[in-house]
Structure 1
Amino acid sequence: MQHVIAYFATREAADIATEHLVQEHGIGRPDIFLQPAGNENSEGQRPSGGDSGAVAPGTVTRHDGAIGSAIELSVDVDDAKAPSIRKVLEQAGANVRA
């Protein structure tokens, strides 16, 4: 078993990577852990999704969200699957460690 840790700039990217792991690689959702890499926030290092700007005419872009630390995704995988899981996470935009 290997413990793979990946860091994403946005929560959106981490969520998408999670879906790839579950749907394409058969990893159980309870085996994937997402958390902020620091104490600053749980949204990532830059805005994405609903945080990225006005979504309708006349809507004001919000700037009150705490954007500061990466989102950490960690998963334990079989040794044989670890290289392909690392590749999936890197292709999703992660900085992969372990």
Structure 2
Amino acid sequence: MSDDSAKTIKATFPTREAADLAVEHLTQEHGIDRADVFIGAAGGANTSGTRPSGGDAPSTRSDHSRGDAQLDGEVEVSVDVTDQKLAAARRVFENGGGHNISAA
């Protein structure tokens, strides 16, 4: 985003699934361009969260979750938004279970 009034807001999520849902809400409900949204590990390790979710979670036919997921830390979502969309992005993060929310 090349707008000088843009802010970057970020949050961490315990699972990749929660991070993906936050991205869906940002783009589909609030019209934020997907190119302005970034997802990555909150730390230095490759990770998909801190606990199984989505494809890593046990299926309805089994009690076993996959053992090959990289559960080495939380997932961070950051998004560049205008001042007008900053509050909406914060609500999406809060409602989606995000924490360590900060804006700069």
TM-score > 0.5, shorter chain as reference: yes
Establish whether residue 76 from structure 1 lines up as the match of residue 80 from structure 2: yes
Specify every segment of 5 or more residues in structure 1 that has no aligned partner in the other structure, as ranges.
none
What percent identity do the matched residue pairs reach? 45
**What is the distance in 2 between the residues matched to 1:93 and 1:60?**
25
Cα deviation digits, residues 47-89 of structure 1 (max 9, x gap): 10111124535x8532232212111111111112111210111
Q: Tell me by how many angstroms 1:25 deviates.
A: 0.3
Aligned pairs, how many? Answer: 97
Specify every segment of 5 or more residues in structure 2 that has no aligned partner in the other structure, as ranges.
1-5
Runs of 4+ in 1 over 2 A off after TM superposition: 39-42, 54-57, 59-66
User: So what's the TM-score if we normalise by structure 1?
Assistant: 0.87
Match of 2:42 among 32, 37, 60: 37
Contact 1:40 1:67 in 2 (8 A): no
Establish whether residue 11 from structure 1 lines up as the match of residue 16 from structure 2: yes
- Aligned Cα RMSD in Å? 1.7
Establish whether residue 94 from structure 1 lines up as the match of residue 98 from structure 2: yes
Secondary structure at the counterpart of residue 4 of structure 1 = strand
